Structures are given as structure tokens and as C-alpha cells.
Amino acid sequence: MALAFQADLEGDSDPGLAPVVIEEARRKRGRPLEMTPTQVLDRIRRLSAGGDGLYRVHHTHTDLYARARRQFGSWAAAVAAAGMDYSDAINAARRRAIETRRARRKAKTRNR
């Protein structure tokens, strides 16, 4: 907010004029948004629909993960805001991890 005198605004030189408050557009503090919350949620939905799911996103899509945590407080809250059940995503990822470990163990025992 800036303070100016009416004389300055109108080019008048009468010193008896009252001060006038001028509203300035305020710049928000911090870094500018690189992605809006809507864009973050859309990217989460697209990732969820893909074959990899939402597991290990913190390694594969670090920018999205960090942005979602900043905007929604946690990755789980961002996933919930996107309309998905995060516990289902975690359970599916755990099942895939167990299957992968079993397959590797079998392959390892066959090669001996």
C-alpha cells in the first residue's frame, strides 16, 4: 500500500489536500507456483492409470512428489484429493514387490 497526496495525482499544487491511499498489486511471498493444484491432481490421476501405479513416485517423479507434498501436506493427502484410495495403491505395490522377490528367488535357485 502506498501513500500519495491528491495534488501529486492530479498535478495540483494545493498543499491542503488530504492524502490518498493507493492499493498496489501485492506479490505473493515465496516461489511462484510451477504447477497449480489442479495440474498436480491431474498428473497423479494419469500416473495412477498407468501401469507403474503410485509406488516409488518419490524416486521416479521427484518434482511431482515434492510439489504435491508442498501443496497438500503429504503425498497421501494429494492422492486422496485426486480421488484415489492410497491404501489400495500401497497394497497393490506390496503385492507386486512380493511377486518380484519370489520370481527373483526362483530364478536365483534355478541358476545354481
What does the pLDDT look like over 16-51, one tens digit per residue?
666 656 566 665 676 666 889 999 999 999 998 877
pLDDT-derived band at 109 (thresholds 50, 70, 90) equals confident
- pLDDT digit string, tens, across residues 57-75: 889 899 999 999 999 999 9
Same-domain pairing of 52 and 100: yes
Same-domain pairing of 46 and 9: no
Same-domain pairing of 25 and 35: no
* Average pLDDT value for the chain: 79
Contact 54, 77 (CB under 8 A): no
Same-domain pairing of 91 and 42: yes
> φ and ψ at 18, to 5 degrees?
-80, 155
pLDDT of res. 15: 58
Domain with 76 in it: 31-110
Same-domain pairing of 102 and 61: yes
Same-domain pairing of 64 and 9: no
Same-domain pairing of 22 and 47: no
Same-domain pairing of 6 and 37: no
Domain tally, the chain: 2
Q: DSSP letter at 92?
A: H
pLDDT-derived band at 93 (thresholds 50, 70, 90) equals confident
Same-domain pairing of 98 and 71: yes
